[in-house]
């Protein structure tokens, strides 16, 4: 697998001493903690590490997976409008803002305290090309009238994508907000195969029920690891996997500067993804929570 040169989070943080607590607060949604470990600033919700940045290079992170969102540019090279659901420390938003000066980005975050933390402690730029909406991601998609080239879903309840952001109904609404050749990307934590793979395979099946093509990249730890980042990209664009991988190797004509991006194609998943034993995810029937249609 391709390895990000900055992906040394366990070793680096483990070797650091004397963490400095920068901020702590409790919102209606999270216990929010910002801590500096030497030259790395970390955002946590409860005990879960959400985001990080290098204090001397605030557009960089020791998380590996955010760089993979730039694969969406390989699917839609002329992208000019991006929707990001889930802000956190704004790693994805601020990097895309800096790297693609023609791009306008709308970010949706449920927790206003997280928005405040992103601006105060994680160098989220205040710029007209970035609009931040305090809203539920599902409600935003259901009510907005904008059209996007790229949609990124990077939102979590603990270590799971909130169910309302994974259903067939949500995805069809999201597709209506995308350009015809637009692309949606999910960050999902789980396993691609093995005993614990059903949640991932159910999400994959749901995406396949809405979009023509779904690609998967396994970022770290292996396909059977329960805690790996699985990056899913879905689109109706007429684009083959070989064409996508060629654009990745070419850094989309040199536009993508994410470290090791040209090697990300090594993480393209070509294994079987079984769907016969998992359901398409749907909204609960009104008045009967949990029941499937």
pLDDT, tens digit only, all 293 positions of the chain: 444 444 444 444 444 458 999 999 999 999 999 999 999 999 999 888 999 999 999 999 999 999 999 999 999 999 999 999 999 999 999 999 999 999 999 999 999 999 999 999 999 999 999 999 999 999 999 999 999 999 999 998 877 899 999 999 999 999 999 999 999 999 999 999 998 999 999 999 999 999 999 999 999 765 555 678 999 999 999 999 999 999 999 999 999 999 999 999 999 999 999 999 999 999 998 655 544 43
Instruction: Give this prediction's pTM.
Output: 0.91
Instruction: Give the 3-state secondary structure of residue 106.
Output: strand
- Tell me, what's the pLDDT at 3? 41
The answer for residues whose C-beta is within 8 angstroms of residue 28's C-beta and 6 or more apart is: 111
- Tell me, what's the pLDDT at 227? 73
Distance CA 278, CA 264 (A): 28
Q: Where in the chain is the domain with CATH 3.40.50.150?
A: 65-257
The answer for residues whose C-beta is within 8 angstroms of residue 68's C-beta and 6 or more apart is: 217, 219, 229, 231, 264, 267
Q: How far is CA 292 from the centre of its chain?
A: 27
- Tell me, what's the pLDDT at 159? 75
CB 153 within 8 A of CB 87: no
- Tell me, what's the pLDDT at 158? 72
- Tell me, what's the pLDDT at 222? 56
- Tell me, what's the pLDDT at 11? 44
Sign of CA dihedral 276, 281, 285, 288: positive
Distance CA 26, CA 101 (A): 35
CB 184 within 8 A of CB 153: yes
* Cα separation of the two ends of the chain: 39
* CATH number of the 65-257 domain: 3.40.50.150
Sign of CA dihedral 96, 174, 32, 66: negative
Distance CA 246, CA 244 (A): 5
Q: How far is CA 160 from the centre of its chain?
A: 12
Distance CA 231, CA 233 (A): 7
């Amino acid at each position: 697998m391709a390895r990000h040169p900055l992906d040394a989070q366990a070793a680096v943080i483990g070797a650091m001493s004397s963490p400095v607590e920068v901020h702590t607060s409790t919102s209606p949604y999270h216990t929010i903690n910002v801590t500096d470990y030497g030259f790395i600033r970390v955002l946590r919700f409860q005990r879960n590490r959400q985001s990080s940045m290098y204090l001397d290079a605030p557009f960089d992170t020791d998380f590996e997976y955010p760089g993979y969102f730039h694969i969406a540019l390989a699917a839609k090279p002329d992208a000019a409008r991006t929707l990001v659901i889930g802000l956190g420390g704004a790693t994805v938003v601020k990097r895309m803002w800096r790297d693609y000066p023609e791009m306008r980005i709308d970010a949706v975050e449920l927790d206003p305290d997280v928005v405040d933390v992103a601006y105060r402690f994680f160098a989220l730029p205040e710029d007209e090309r970035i609009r931040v909406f305090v809203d539920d991601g599902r409600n935003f998609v259901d009510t907005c009238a904008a059209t996007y080239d790229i949609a990124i879903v990077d939102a979590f309840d603990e270590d799971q994508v909130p169910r309302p952001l994974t259903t067939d109904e949500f995805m069809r609404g999201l597709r209506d907000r995308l350009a015809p050749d637009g692309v949606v990307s999910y960050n999902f934590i789980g396993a691609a195969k093995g005993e614990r793979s059903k949640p991932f395979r159910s999400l994959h099946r749901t995406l396949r029920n809405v979009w023509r093509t779904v690609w998967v990249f396994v970022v770290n730890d292996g396909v059977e690891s329960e805690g790996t980042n699985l990056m899913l990209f879905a689109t109706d664009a007429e684009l083959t996997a070989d064409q996508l991988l060629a654009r990745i190797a070419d850094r989309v004509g040199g536009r993508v500067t994410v470290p090791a991006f040209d090697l990300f194609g090594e993480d393209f998943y070509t294994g079987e993804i079984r769907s016969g034993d998992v359901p398409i995810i749907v909204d609960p029937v009104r008045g009967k929570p949990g029941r499937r249609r």
